[in-house]
Amino acid sequence: MSEQTGGHREGPAFKGLKLVPVSDEQYTMKDFKSDQEVRWCPGCGDYAVLAAFQSFLPELGVPRENIVMVSGIGCSSRFPYYLTTYGMHSIHGRAPAVATGLAASRPDLSVWVITGDGDGLSIGGNHLIHALRRNVNINILMFNNRIYGLTKGQYSPTSEPGKITKSSPMGSLDAPFNPVSLALGAEATFVARTLDSDRKHLTGVLRAAADHQGASFVEIYQNCPIFNDDAFAPLKDPGQRDLRLLRMEHGEPLLIGEGRGVVRGEYGELGVSELSGADSARVVRHDAHRADPGYAFALSRLDYPAFEHVPIGVFRDVERPSYDELMLEQLTEAETVQGRGDLAALLAGGDTWTVD
Amino acid sequence: MPKEVQRLDRVIIRFAGDSGDGMQLTGDRFTQETASFGNDLSTLPNFPAEIRAPAGTLPGVSSFQLHFADHDIMTPGDAPNVLVAMNPAALKANVEDVPKGETIIVNTDEFTKRALTKVGYSANPLEDGSLAEFKVSAVPLTSMTVKALEEFSISKKDAERAKNMFALGLLSWMYNRPSEGTLGFLRAKFANRPDIMSANIAAFKAGWNFGETTEDFAVSYEIRPAALPPGTYRNITGNTALSYGLIAGSELTGLPLFLGSYPITPASDILHELSKHKRFGVRTFQAEDEIAGVGAALGASFGGALGVTTTSGPGMVLKAETVGLAVMTELPLIVIDVQRGGPSTGLPTKTEQADLLMALYGRNGESPVPVLAPCSPADCFAIAIEAARIATRYRTPVIVLSDGYLANGSEPWRLPEVAQLPDLSVRFASSPNGPEGEFLPYLRDPETLARPWAVPGTAGLEHRIGGIEKSDRTGNISYSPANHDLMVRTRQGKIDGIARDIDRLDVDDPSGRAKVLVLGWGGTFGSIGAAVRRVRRAGGEVAQAHLRHLNPFPENLADVLGGYERVLVPEINLGQLALLLRGKFLVDAISYTKVRGLPFKAEELAGVLQEVIDNV
């Protein structure tokens, strides 16, 4: 079981799946649609993410039974029920912990964590940051709608300050998290952001996440039409979005719309500047593989506070051995050096004496 | 001229000193010498929660009590025959426990005015006659150690630190202990520091020689080996035995062991021990918190591992929600609670058994969980295997209630024959079980009511589980009133049914005429057993039974309770088992409780028992 590695064919399609068997089967999207009725509100952004995810899964090229979805509590956490893979809808905030135990003991699985801004950043914030720093081989998709949906509309840890909700009639007092900054501060090796409504971009980010060995963190801006409708409207409006979205591609200059680009400031911070002819040389070329997270962090601060220039795509993608791999290495080393454990010898270890 | 050797049948020694004096090590070495000599023994370490409380203060006193005998014994003993006090604080903290006429060995070098004042002695007890009723041996342990180590090129501080080995050497001479084990231990421990190694060995030998030559110690004592049942023995603490039991559970079930744990006293040693055994395929995960520890263990169980989490009371509280998830998802999980004094942070290093009701009922909803409790340090091995058996066979979380006394205390353990351990092989579901070729994750085994355990990686059995109520058979989300009622009762019925599959409750009632039953659970077995022996020796008749299964109870418990006029239930809590017995069996049980962070004393319990017998 946990000893299964690799597959029959040439090798996995993605680096993050190098210990997962390769499938002989050619799946299609419908192979991943479960018979359960999807119960999100009409117009919920979760539908778009689900559809994109279902159509992406065949690309993994691994047996369906080796895919596991683990979620917490919240609207997005119903996700596993709508897929035909293995799944666990766990408890509030704890999905990264459950997934860590599963992935650490079963490197032959492709494990996906589905969480939200309340689940992942509030009650489960601790598990999230530790899963990231350990670099457990899991993919964390955090649906950020900047509101509590399932409990009917309280402000969340990503809500803008002063938000009027049922629990904050005079406006919320909390300063919000920037999830990408948080993940980078937690030593994440892969951090990306995408939008529920941009299927092509979303699929591209999922692909990159699957291709990453270790923990990948993907923030998905997701619209809640009931309690926080149009939270991301400026990023979706055809008239504005190209002026606001910074589509990051590794190795390419960071440009927004026509004539604006990302340049370095005096203290190493990044800013957006109108470019005149000579300035284009100053535009920063995106490097997602930089070992120092400082650059990615600076990028993550571009969009603060209000969606003026929002980077989407992969902020950071660096290589570091994954936790499950290291754990397996220690087990293998112990067995190689000391030999497979023998129970009788263990029990009789230490000082013994015999009574006749 | 050789000194006189007196034969004794048993001795209780307590080593007491500052936290930094190495008393736990000294006690542990004396224990190993005693074990290898073949005495029966039982130990009680007692130490502060602070790593280094201020030197020379009462809160900083650390002690180690050892009871050893030429016959089988059940407890670390009520009161020491010999107290070794390394400083005034150790004397003050322990002298009240020493019966008049017994021996006190003090390290006089530490009895300075300043040290005496620090613990509130206005006069030196070695000089003011307050110890007149004891046999006091005043020995300048520190200065004699320093003198003995003059030749070594080590600092004075290092020389002084070896005084515990001097004391150990002296006591080892007094009780004719074999010293080879300790010398070997010192050689290994200080292999990289030859100076310190030689100094400690020299200090040990100096202590031994001092006993042999000085006139202060006129006699030495002999306690012959105990006539224990034939077999190979080792001395073992509860935490080590539990760790080995978990490894055995993994081997016997054929499931890789996964421990998710967060450090907490007095459970951490299980994490330490298991992290050493990776060659058995044991994965240990030091989590970011208690919740993640159990969450990861449950995740590993979902993947087909033997998922285990270890903690103490404050951590149990945090794990409750995940244990509930394990109840709902019906996955195997072993939760070890090494109980300590509570509530809240309570008494981290002291024992208690006040988590019973929390283990049984400390979750939201109807959330039945099997609960087991080992009755001695060595029994922790068997109880861990039993936990693995029940968890995997019934697909349920199982809570094991050990305690601080069992965890750190030790006793000789007769090694089991590995071949005689039960075969607990687990069979995962491998093919669909539904009438139409579908997989029904909540279709139950008619005998055990367990659901199939289908692990990821098994083609055709893909399914989703979670904390929301499950529909019978399919496991789909269900809010149906009738289904919820059925599922609540089914989960309860599954756990209740385990009663048919566990050992019946044994009653020890040699005469068959006892009218009083003393019923305990968990770590109090030794104290109660020793009290029962005292009562019987004095001519009293009493029956003893001890519960290792707290949920469900053994099937014959009602009959056992009904067979006696009075039932006495001693507990180190405020009567939690007694409450259950009254509630479930309408028995007017007499609850006797003490919550001092220490085990019961046999003498005290014997008195209580006798009183109950006298009043029948």
- pLDDT tens across B545-556, in order? 999 999 999 999
What are the φ and ψ backbone dihedral angles of B288, each rounded to 5 degrees?
-75, -20
Quick one: A303 and A202 in the same domain?
no
CA A91/CA B363 separation, integer angstroms: 14
Residues 6+ apart with CB under 8 A from A146: A117, A156, A158, A159, A160, A176, A228, A231
Q: Is B352 strand, coil or helix?
A: coil
**Tokens 């979760």 identify what position?**
A46
Q: Are A86 and A111 in contact (CB under 8 A)?
A: no
Distance, in Å, from the CA atom of A247 to the CA atom of A253, rounded to the nearest integer, reads: 10
Residues A67 and A151 placed together within one structural domain of the fold: yes
Residue % of chain B over a pLDDT of 70: 100
Contact B44, B64 (CB under 8 A): yes
Q: Which residues of B touch A81 (CB under 8 A)?
A: 464, 466, 476-477
State both tokens at B302.
């979902």
Helices (H), B290-364: 290-302, 313-329, 356-361
Cβ(A235)–Cβ(A229) under 8 Å?
no
Q: Which residues of A touch B37 (CB under 8 A)?
A: 353
Contact B280 A346 (CB under 8 A): yes
Which of A 259-278 lie inside 8 A of B, CB atoms? none
Structure tokens at A28: 């299609």
Residues of A in contact with B280 (CB under 8 A): 340-341, 343, 346
Domain total in chain A: 2
For residue B33, CA distances in Å to A353, B178, B225 come to 11, 6, 12
What is the pLDDT, as a whole number, of residue B215?
86
Residues of B in contact with A84 (CB under 8 A): 462
Question: Least CB-CB distance to A327: which of B283, B322, B465?
Answer: B283
B279 close to A (CB below 8 A) = yes
Q: For position A277, what pLDDT does the model report? A: 72
pLDDT at A3: 41
Residue A354 lies in a domain: no
Is pLDDT at A4 greater than 60 in this prediction? no
**A355 Cα distance to chain centroid:** 60
Return residues 216-245 of A near B (CB < 8 Å).
none
Q: How far apart are CA B42 and CA B78, in angstroms?
A: 11
Residues of chain A with C-beta less than 8 angstroms from the C-beta of B33: none
Give yes or no: residues A111 and A157 share one domain: yes
Q: Do A85 and B462 touch (CB under 8 A)?
A: yes
Quote the CA–CA distance of A239 and A241 in Å, as a whole number: 6
Burial A166-203 (b: 16+ CB within 10 A, else e): eebeeebeeebbbbbbbbbebebbbbbbbbbbbbebbb
Rounded to whole angstroms, how far apart are CA atoms A3 and B479?
A: 39
What ipTM describes this predicted complex?
0.96
Are A290 and A156 members of one domain? no
Residue A242 falls inside a structural domain: no
pLDDT band of A11, cuts 50, 70, 90: low
* CA dist list (Å): A78 to A47, A70, A74, A158, A206: 11, 10, 7, 21, 19
Q: Is B285 helix (H, G, I), strand (E, B) or coil?
A: strand
> Coil, strand, or helix at residue B94?
helix
Would residue A352 count as lying in a domain? no
Residue A207: count of CB within 10 angstroms of its CB = 14
User: A152: distance to nearest CA of chain B, Å?
Assistant: 18
Q: Which of residues 66-125 of A touch B (CB under 8 A)?
A: 66-71, 73, 80-81, 83-91, 94, 96-106, 108-109
Q: B96 at the A interface (CB within 8 A)?
A: no
d(CA B356, CA A306): 53
Helices within B120-214 (DSSP H only): 141-148, 156-161, 163-174, 180-189, 194-213
The predicted-structure confidence for B559-582, as pLDDT tens digits, reads as follows 999 999 999 999 999 999 999 999
Burial level of B575, CB count in 10 A (0-12/13-18/19+)? middle
**Run of H or E residues at A233:** helix A233-236
Instruction: Give yes or no: residues A42 and A87 share one domain.
Output: yes
What CATH number did the domain enclosing A141 receive?
A: 3.40.50.970
- pTM of the predicted protein model: 0.95
Task: Using the predicted structure, report yes or no on whether residue A59 has a pLDDT greater than 50.
Answer: yes
Tokens of B42: 């039982």
- Residue spans of alpha helices (H) in A254-321: 294-300
Identify the H or E element spanning A338.
Answer: helix A323-338
Q: For the CA atoms of chain A, what is the radius of gyration?
A: 22
pLDDT at residue B330, rounded to an integer: 98
pLDDT at A2 over 50: no
In this structure, what is the dihedral angle of CA atoms A161, A164, A167, A170, given to the nearest 10 degrees? Answer: 90
Query: Which portions of chain B are predicted below pLDDT 70?
Result: 1
Mean pLDDT of chain A: 93
Q: Read off the amino acid at residue B70.
A: D
Per-residue pLDDT, averaged over A233-239, amounts to 92
Q: Are residues A307 and A325 in the same domain?
A: no
Q: What is the pLDDT of residues A293-333, one digit of tens each?
A: 999 999 999 986 678 899 999 999 999 999 999 999 999 99
Inter-chain CB proximity B278 and A330 less than 8 Å: yes
- The pLDDT value recorded for residue B1 is 57
Question: Domain of A303?
Answer: 247-313
Contact A341 B299 (CB under 8 A): no
| Residues of chain A found within 8 Å of residue B283, distances taken between Cβ atoms | 104-105, 327, 331
**Two tokens at A250?**
């590794």
* Minimum distance, in Å, between the CA of residue B99 and any CA atom of chain A: 33
Three-state SS annotation for B476-526:
CECCCHHHHHHHHHHHHHHHHHHHHHCCCCCCECCCCCCCEEEEEEHHHHH
In this model, does residue A8 exceed pLDDT 50? no
Q: Would residue A36 count as lying in a domain?
A: yes
Omega before B348 within 30 of 0, i.e. cis: no
**Same-domain status, A220 and A255:** no
Q: How much is the pLDDT for B320? A: 98
Q: Do B233 and A352 touch (CB under 8 A)?
A: yes
d(CA B159, CA B203): 9
**DSSP H helix total and E strand total for chain B:** 20, 22
CA–CA separation, B258 vs B250, rounded Å?
A: 9
All structural domains of chain B, each given as residue ranges with its CATH number in brackets, are 4-222 (3.40.920.10), 241-415 (3.40.50.970), 427-501 (no CATH), 516-614 (3.40.50.920)
Q: pLDDT band for position A268 (50/70/90)?
A: confident
Q: Sort out which chain A residues have CB atoms less than 8 A from B68's CB and list them.
A: none
In a domain, A236, yes or no: no
Considering the domain architecture, whether residues A161 and A281 belong to the same structural domain is answered as no
Q: What are the pLDDT digits (tens) for A68-80? A: 999 999 999 999 9
Tokens of B601: 């004393």
Label the pairing between strands B410-414 and B231-237. Answer: antiparallel
- Residue A8 resides in a domain: no
Residues A96 and A225 both lie in one domain: yes
Residue B537 CA, chain-centre distance (Å), reads 28
Cα distances from B275 to residues A345, A351, B29, B364, in angstroms, run 17, 21, 24, 33
Q: Is B199 on the interface with A (CB under 8 A)?
A: no
The closest CB to that of B230, out of A63, A105, A355, belongs to A355
Instruction: Give yes or no for a contact between B242 and B336, defined as CB atoms under 8 angstroms apart.
Output: yes
Report the interhelical angle of B379-394 vs B238-253 (nearest 10°).
40
Task: Return all residues near A118 (Cβ < 8 A) that are at least 6 apart.
Answer: A74, A148, A156, A157
Q: Cα–Cα–Cα angle for B120, B122, B124, nearest 5°?
A: 105
A222 and A255 share one domain? no
Tell me, yes or no, whether A100 and A133 share the same domain.
Answer: yes
Pairing of β B333-339 and β B397-403: parallel
Put simply, whether A281 touches B (Cβ < 8 Å) is: no
Residue A15 structure tokens:
């680096």
Alpha carbons B494 and B491: distance in angstroms, whole number: 5
In a domain, A184, yes or no: yes
Q: What does R_g of chain B's alpha carbons equal in angstroms?
A: 27
Q: Please give the helix or strand (H or E) that residue B139 lies within, else none.
A: strand B135-139
Within a domain: A325: yes
Within 13 Å and on the Cβ side, how many CA atoms surround B314? 17
% residues pLDDT > 70 (chain A) = 96
Q: Is A223 in a helix, a strand, or coil?
A: coil
* A217 in the same domain as A79: yes
Give the whole-angstrom CA distance, residue B81 versus residue B71: 17
Q: At residue A9, does pLDDT exceed 50?
A: no
- Hey, are the CB atoms on B38 and A353 less than 8 Å from each other? yes
